[in-house]
Amino acid sequence: MQEILLDTILDCLKILPFLFIAFFIIEFFEHKLSHKTENAIKDAGKFGPLIGSLLGALPQCGFSVLATNLYITRIISLGTLISIYLSTSDEMLPILIAEKAPLSSIIFLVVLKIIIGFICGFIIDLIIKKETPKKHFEICKHDHCDCQHGILKPSIKHTLKTLIFIFIITFILNAAFHYIGEDNIKHIFDKTNFFTPFIAGLIGLIPNCGSSIILTELYITNILPLSSALTGLLANSGVALLVLFKSNQNIKENIKIIGILYSVSIVTGLLLKIFGV
C-alpha cells in the first residue's frame, strides 16, 4: 500500500506544474484581457490542431491536462483538444526508449499519432465552424473565487481542488492495477481476436498513466499487435479525462468527447488490422 501511495503522489507531482500553468493562463484571460482580444485569439486558432498535435506528442500528459482546462473556458477549440488527446504519448515514449525499441518503431508511432491528431482535429474544427458558440464558461465565477484581488490566489485554489480530485481517483486506479496484476491483464489479449482493438481502446480510456504503460509493454513484448497497441495509445490522454469531468459541468459534451476519441482510435486500429499491421 505504501508503494501505491508513493506512485500516486509522484503521478500527481508530475502534472502539478501543468495544472497551475493552465489555471493561471485561464485567470489571465478571464480577468486581464478584453472580450475583443479574447475573441481574436480564439478566431486565430486555425493552426490549433497542428500545434496541439505536436505539443501532445511530448512525454507525460501535462499538455492534455492543460488543454482540457483551456477548452473548458473556450480558449482553444474542440479540434485542438482532440488533436492533443490523440497525440498524447504519456508514458509511451519514455518506455519505448528505456526498452531500447527500434528507432523506426518509435518514430512511426509518434509521427502516426501526430498525423492522426492533426487530421482529426482539423476536420472537427471544419465541421463545427458554423455552429453557434456555447456560452463562455468562467471557472472563477463558477467556483466563487476571490478574483478581485489578483489571479495568483484563485489559480492556486483551482489547482489544489483539482489535484485533490485527481489524487483520489489515481490512487484507486493504481491500487486496481497493482492488485489485478499485469499478467492477468495480458491474458485478456489475443493477437487473432477481432475485438482486441476494442478492448485496447477501453484500456486506453482509463485516466491513468498505468494504462499507457501496460499497452506499451504489451506491444514491446509482442503480446499486442501494433494495430491494437496504437488503438489504446490514441485513446489514452493520461489524467486529462479526470480533469474534464471534474471541471466541465456539461456531461453530454464530456461523453461526446470520449465518443470521438474512442471512435477515432477504433477506426484507426481496425484499418491497420485489415492491412495486417
Mean per-residue pLDDT over the chain, rounded? 80
Instruction: Output the CA torsion 108→110→112→116 (10° steps).
Output: 180
Q: Using DSSP, state whether 275 is helix, strand or coil.
A: coil
C-alpha cell recorded at residue 121 = 482535429
Least confident of 19-28, 37-46, 117-126, 264-273: 37-46
Q: How many Å apart are CA 16 and CA 29, to the nearest integer?
A: 20
Percent of the chain at pLDDT above 90?
Answer: 25
Q: Are 209 and 91 in contact (CB under 8 A)?
A: yes
Beta bridge partners of 153: none
C-alpha cell recorded at residue 139 = 471557472
For the segment 132-141, what is each residue's pLDDT rounded down to a tens digit?
A: 444 445 555 5
**pLDDT for 29:** 64
Number of domains composing the chain: 1
Closest CA to 1 of 163, 167, 180, 179: 179
* Mean pLDDT calculated for residue range 193-206: 88
Could you tell me the residue range of the domain that residue 194 belongs to?
A: 2-274
**pLDDT for 37:** 43
**pLDDT for 44:** 41
- Residue 16's pLDDT band (cuts 50, 70, 90): confident
- Dihedral class, residue 144 (left if φ above 0, else alpha if ψ from -120 to 50, else beta): left
Q: Are 54 and 114 in contact (CB under 8 A)?
A: yes
* Mean pLDDT calculated for residue range 19-34: 69
**pLDDT for 99:** 75
Grid cell 509511451 in the structure block, residue: 92
Q: How many Å apart are CA 233 and CA 236, to the nearest integer?
A: 5
Q: Is 227 a residue whose pLDDT tops 60? A: yes
For the segment 34-82, what is each residue's pLDDT rounded down to a tens digit?
A: 454 445 445 546 788 888 898 888 766 677 888 898 888 888 889 999 9
Q: How many Å apart are CA 232 and CA 222, to the nearest integer?
A: 15
**pLDDT for 114:** 94
CA angle 243, 200, 165 (to 5 degrees): 20
**pLDDT for 156:** 87
Q: Are 76 and 45 in contact (CB under 8 A)?
A: yes
For the segment 72-117, what is each residue's pLDDT rounded down to a tens digit?
A: 888 888 999 999 999 987 778 877 887 788 898 889 999 999 999 9
